[in-house]
Structure 1
Amino acid sequence: MNLSQEEWTEKLQADENAVILDVRTEEEVEYGYIPGAINIDIRLGQEFVEEVGKLDKSKNYYVYCRSGARSASACSIMNQLGIENAYNLMGGILEWEGDIIE
């Protein structure tokens, strides 16, 4: 499900079952990431699928990348793997107005 920055932030803050997932490359993460995020690079292909398959399906995942395209794909893959609640941050970290750890 695609959410605007505001919707994503509001939903995340109210969610006690939330996990933030950054699907960018390690190099991109080094430039900064949203606090509390775990990183699984979608460009790893099958390894991404395997790592996502290990995630707790009962959690709600707030997924982001640089601009929102890769995270949209990641949410789709996650849905196919049985994770019902995967929320894509439209605009990605480029448009993120919250805290970033550098």
Structure 2
Amino acid sequence: MKLLRVGLLWALSAFLTGALAQAPTPPPPDVTPAKAAKLIRKQQVVVLDVRTPEEYAASHLAGARNVNFKAADFAQQVATLDTTKTYLLYCASGNRSSKAAVVLRQQGVRKVVNAGALKDLQAAKPRLRVE
């Protein structure tokens, strides 16, 4: 009987371990445009624009680094990021930045926030400088 209990506990443990290992990475928190502006102004984050290079060239937040989410090597690019820093991501609507944030987390970056859409950040109070 004791052997049966041990076997059942082992099987349950193995099942839970496998289930947890396959659990999807949750998206990081979204921040309001005002909170994003505050983090950027205080230089507490590295700003990543995850739009295409063409979108980035048209306009972007001052100091933002372009890392194209649609690029085939996006995961490899973010794998080179410093995992001790905090990253603030934005895109055109908030959709790509949300998905990109999950990839960053999967690559070991734990401090990630999604700032959403560039247009919302441009309208933030206080205003962020756009280049």
Determine if the TM-score, normalized by the shorter chain, exceeds 0.5: yes
* Equivalent position to 1:11, from 10, 34, 39: 39
Structure showing greater radius of gyration is 2
Higher relative contact order (CA 8 A, sep 6+): 1
Q: Where do 4+ consecutive residues of structure 1 move more than 2 Å?
A: 11-16
Q: Does 1:87 align with 2:94?
A: no
Gaps of 5+ in 1: none
Gaps of 5+ in 2: 1-28
Higher-helix-fraction structure: 2
Shift of 1:15: 4.2
TM-score, normalisation: structure 2:
0.70
Match of 1:52 in 2: 78
Matched AA of 2:64? A
Higher-strand-fraction structure: 1
**Counterparts of residues 1-102 of structure 1 (less than 5 Å):** 1-16=29-44, 18-45=45-72, 47-90=73-116, 92-96=117-121, 97=123, 98-101=128-131
Matched AA of 2:129? D
CA-to-aligned-CA distance 1:59-79 (integer Å, 9 cap, x gap): 110100011110000111111
Superposed CA RMSD: 1.2
Q: Percent identity?
A: 28
Shift of 1:7: 1.4
TM-score, normalisation: structure 1:
0.89
User: How many Å separate the matches in 2 of 1:52 and 1:35?
Assistant: 20
